[in-house]
Amino acid sequence: MTDRAKPVSSSLPDHSFAGARSAGLPSLGVWIDRVPRPDGGWHMALDEALLLTSSAPAIRFYQWEQEEITFGFFTPLASVVPRGVPATRRWTGGGVVEHGQDVTFSLAIPRDFLVALGSAETRYRWIHETLAQSLQAAGLESALASPSFPATATAPSERGLGKTPGACFSRPVAWDVIDSAIGHKIAGGAQRRTRAGLLHQGSVRLPGTLATLDHSWPGVFASRLGERVEPITEPDGAGFDLAENLRRERYRATAWHQRF
C-alpha cells in the first residue's frame, strides 16, 4: 500500500508472472496475501485502504479462513441475516457473495490512471476478459467473458465448486466470466469509483488446484493487466493504521451494516 514496491520473492511462485500479454496499466503492484485474517471486516478494510493509500495501481489476492458473506453497498441487510454466517457490507456495489472456497482479488486504480481505461462498462469488460484469458492460459480453456449467457446445466457442487454460490453467482451479468462448457458463472465483480480512483473487488470460484493462491493464474492475470509487475508487501505504519481504523469504525460497526 505504499508508493514503492518491496520485493518479496518468497510470496510468489517462480512462474507467477509468466505468459504476459497486452496490458492496460503501465505498472501494477501485486500483493499475494497469505496472512490469515479473522473476518471479512479485515478483508474489506484492507481493500479500501489499498485504494486510499496507493499512488500506483495495485492488486491484492487473498482467500478466506471460514465461510462468510459480503454484500453490496445498497443490498438490504434483511436479505442477508437469515443465512446464518458472518456477513460484511462491502464498500462496492453488487449483491450477495458467499466466500470461503473462492479466490478473491481487489484491484485498486488511482484516478490518474483511469482515463485511458474508458467507461465503467469498458473497465469491467477489460478486467474480466483479461481474467478469462488468464484462466484459459492456466488450463481452463472454457473460461469466457461474455455479454450474454447460455442456460445453466449443472449445479456448482457437481463441478467441484463446493456449496451453491450466492445470488451474484446465480445471476450473471454482462461480461462476467463463465465456464462456457456448462454455462455457469465462475467469476464476478463489483466496483466503486471515488475521488481517489476505482476499487474493483472480484470473486473467482474454480475447481481443484485452480482454487489456490499457489496456482499460476493470479500471476498471469496480473501480468496481463500491467506492463510491469512487482510484488508488494502488506502495509505498515499509516497504511495499516488506516485499515485498522476502517475495520473498527466502518466494517465492524452496526450502523454500517444497518444502513439499508
109 neighbors 57 (Cβ within 8 angstroms)? yes
CB 114 within 8 A of CB 198: yes
Kindly report, residue by residue over 228-258, the tens digit of the pLDDT: 999 998 887 888 999 999 999 999 999 999 8
Residue 104's DSSP bridge partners are 62, 203
Q: If we measure between CA atoms, which residue out of 215, 202, 209, 203 comes closest to residue 160?
A: 209
Q: What is the pLDDT of residues 129-148, one digit of tens each?
A: 999 999 999 999 999 998 87
Q: Rounded to whole angstroms, how far apart are CA atoms 6 and 132? A: 28
pLDDT reported for residue 64: 96
Cβ atoms of 29 and 61 within 8 Å: the answer is no
Give me the pLDDT at residue 170, please: 61
Residue 167 has a pLDDT of 57
- pLDDT in the model for residue 150: 57
Q: For residue 43, what is the enclosing H or E element?
A: helix 40-53
Query: What is the pLDDT at residue 237?
Result: 85
Residue-range domains of the chain with CATH = 9-140+190-257 (3.30.930.10)
The Cα-based distances of 73 to 88, 100, 121, 256 in angstroms read 10, 20, 19, 9
pLDDT value at position 260?
84
In this structure, what C-alpha cell is assigned to residue 230? 512487482
Is residue 32 classed exposed, middle or buried when 0-12, 13-18 and 19+ CB atoms within 10 A define those classes? Answer: buried
CA distances from 62 to 6, 111, 116, 176 (A): 18, 24, 27, 20
Task: Fill in the amino acid letter for 42.
Answer: W
pLDDT in tens, the chain (260 residues): 433 333 333 344 443 444 444 458 999 999 999 999 999 999 999 999 999 999 999 999 999 999 999 999 999 988 887 778 899 999 999 889 999 999 999 999 999 998 767 888 899 999 999 999 999 999 999 999 988 765 444 444 444 434 444 456 666 778 999 999 888 899 999 999 999 999 999 999 998 899 999 999 999 999 999 999 999 988 878 889 999 999 999 999 999 998 88
